[in-house]
Amino acid sequence: MRSACVQDPRYDHRVRVLVLDDHPETRQLLARSLALASHGVKAVATCGDAEAALAEERFDLAILDVMLPDGSGIELTARLRAARVDVPILILTAVGDVASRVNGLDAGADDYLAKPFALAELRARVTALGRRGPMTRARIVRVGPIAIDREARRVTVDGRAVPLTAKELAIVDVLAARRGRVVTRDALLEAVWGEVTDSAQASLEVLVARIRRKLGAAAAAVRTQRGLGYALEWEA
């Protein structure tokens, strides 16, 4: 079943969003909330309709539910990434479903949001993800004077090797894959630690501070988005 694009004529649409959810009430709520926040929205109920929409139209972000009538949002994410569809993807999961969150990020999702969620948080995630472009799969990512060789797991600043631990490298790798986009703390924790706990959160803050110290003059490339997460970008 296809659903028409929801638009509010009072606004200019900043981010074009595809919403995939099989529950009519949830789908309508998401579409209306995002439309009222000035975004253009197309809402669909099946994986098939989502794939068709992505093949026919350009979107800045896709929001995918996990359990769907004709498959899984995680399986759809994996198919899209295998087909080199680089649209940013936000997975919607049940609050206690740690496995789905980890599997979604492993499949190539950029972030996840646990149900139930506040609409204000959803809109913040959409703004952070949708306006920054797709995830990069380049082997070497350059951010100002920093070069991240993701295959060799090596980071240099102006050609000087930066001695990072395995966990520090994992954090940098996640940020590099989403260069220029904010990665939420929870997404970092799921991707690097496999869980969201107070101890992992404390470790993340310590390791980010340590990464900045090791980067020296290039530390400004690791930017904190207050209340949301981190981004790797360079402002000349």
Residues 42 and 115 in one domain: yes
Last residue of a domain, one of 104, 130, 156: 130
Q: pLDDT-based confidence at 3, cuts 50/70/90?
A: very low
167 and 93 co-located in one domain: no
Domain assignment present for residue 206? The answer is: yes
What number is the average pLDDT over the span 32-37? 91
Measured CA to CA, the distance from residue 174 to residue 161 in angstroms comes to 19
Where residue 199 falls among pLDDT bands split at 50, 70, 90? confident
Rounded to whole angstroms, the Cα distance separating 234 from 221 reads: 5
CATH of the domain at 211: 1.10.10.10
User: Do 148 and 208 share a domain, yes or no?
Assistant: yes
Same domain, 107 and 199: no
Q: Give the tokens for residue 85.
A: 């569809």
Confidence of residue 13 (pLDDT cuts 50, 70, 90): very low
Residue 97 in any domain: the answer is yes
Q: What's the pLDDT at 12?
A: 38
Closest CA to 167 of 146, 153, 178, 180: 153
On the question of pLDDT at 80 being above 70, the answer is: yes
Q: Say if 159 falls within a structural domain.
A: yes
3-class secondary-structure state, position 94:
strand
Position with higher pLDDT, 112 vs 215: 215
Task: Looking at the structure, tell me whether residues 150 and 99 fall in a common domain.
Answer: no
Higher pLDDT, 99 or 92: 92
Q: Is residue 135 part of a domain?
A: no
- Mean pLDDT calculated for residue range 145-166: 92
Domain extent at residue 34: 5-130
pLDDT tens per residue, range 210-225: 999 999 999 999 999 8
Q: Are residues 14 and 123 in the same domain?
A: yes
pLDDT tens per residue across span 44-79: 999 999 999 999 998 989 999 999 999 999 999 999
The pLDDT score that the predictor gives to residue 1 is: 40
Q: Mark whether 18 and 47 lie in a shared domain.
A: yes
The enclosing domain of 67 has a CATH number of 3.40.50.2300
Sequence-distant (6+) residues with CB within 8 A of 61 are: 15, 16, 17, 18, 87, 88, 89, 90, 126, 129, 130
Percent of the chain topping pLDDT 70 = 89
Please tell me the distance from the alpha carbon of residue 86 to that of residue 61, in angstroms, as a whole number.
9
Q: Give residue 9's pLDDT band: very low, low, confident or very high (50, 70, 90).
A: very low
User: What pLDDT score was predicted for residue 11?
Assistant: 32
Take residue 151 and report the two structure tokens written for it: 């295959």
pLDDT-derived band of residue 100, with 50, 70 and 90 as boundaries?
confident
Q: What is the mean pLDDT of residues 145-155?
A: 91
The per-type count for the chain, helices as H runs and strands as E runs, is 8, 15
Whether 146 and 111 share a structural domain: no
Given a cut of 70, whether residue 132 has pLDDT beyond it is no
Mean pLDDT within 114-140: 76
Domain assignment present for residue 110? The answer is: yes
CB 173 within 8 A of CB 150: yes
CB 92 within 8 A of CB 63: yes
In this structure, the answer to whether residues 15 and 126 fall within a common structural domain is: yes
Number of structural domains found in the chain: 2
Q: What's the rounded Cα separation, in Å, for the pair 209 and 156?
A: 17
Out of 99, 130, 161, a domain closes at 130
- Cα(41)–Cα(61) distance, integer angstroms: 10
Mean pLDDT to the nearest integer, 188-208 = 86
Are both 177 and 101 inside the same structural domain? Answer: no
The domain boundary, picked from 130, 152, 171, lies at: 130
CA distance 229 to 29: 26
Could you tell me if 117 and 83 lie in one domain?
yes
Mean pLDDT (the chain) is 85
Given a contact cutoff of 8 angstroms between Cβ atoms, the answer to whether 89 and 47 are in contact is no
Residue 166 lies in a domain: yes
In a domain, 73, yes or no: yes
Query: Do 32 and 147 fall into the same domain?
Result: no
Residues in CB range of 77: below 8 A, 6 or more apart: 64, 89, 91, 104, 107, 108, 109
Instruction: Report pLDDT for 158.
Output: 93
